[in-house]
Amino acid sequence: MTISVGDKLPAATFKEKTADGPVEITTDQLFAGKKVVLFAVPGAFTPTCSLNHLPGYLENRDAILARGVDDIAVVAVNDLHVMGAWATQSGGMGKIHFLSDWNAAFTKALSMDIDLSAGTLGLRSKRYSMLVEDGVVKTLNVEESPGQATVSAAAAMLEQI
């Protein structure tokens, strides 16, 4: 069953490459008692993700946090080294969490997985954004196509906070 507004996020453990090295971060550590914007991309360094989706969240980071959001995170079905390189290259290291869902466990638990084998990407995440309060989904925006970043964009999220 696909995650919906009002649902509690499933327990999961992500990997994140930080300035101090690799760490594990659980859904409880990230979401418990906090208001967090989470967005997902099909893949780090892919065109829409790198040129449109991620930059919008980095550019609007301060505006999002000013509306009472505690944290912002991006998740992708990539390994932590790719996510770390993307964080560094984009200038986002230390500004938002770049979460590696390396085995797609979280993505599958949300039923947000998509098979992009025809485009050589394999199993990936649908593109979406959500506002999560204390682990519960308050808003959810899922793109119809992985190549679009409109309803899940930072500008759309700002209107919902």
The yes-or-no answer on residue 151 being catalytic is no
Residues ≥6 apart with Cβ < 8 Å to 33: 134
Rg of the chain over CA atoms, in angstroms?
14
Closest CA to 98 of 7, 19, 5, 9: 19
41, 49, 74, 157: the active-site residue: 49
Distance from C-alpha of 29 to C-alpha of 33, rounded to nearest angstrom: 9
Known catalytic residues are 49
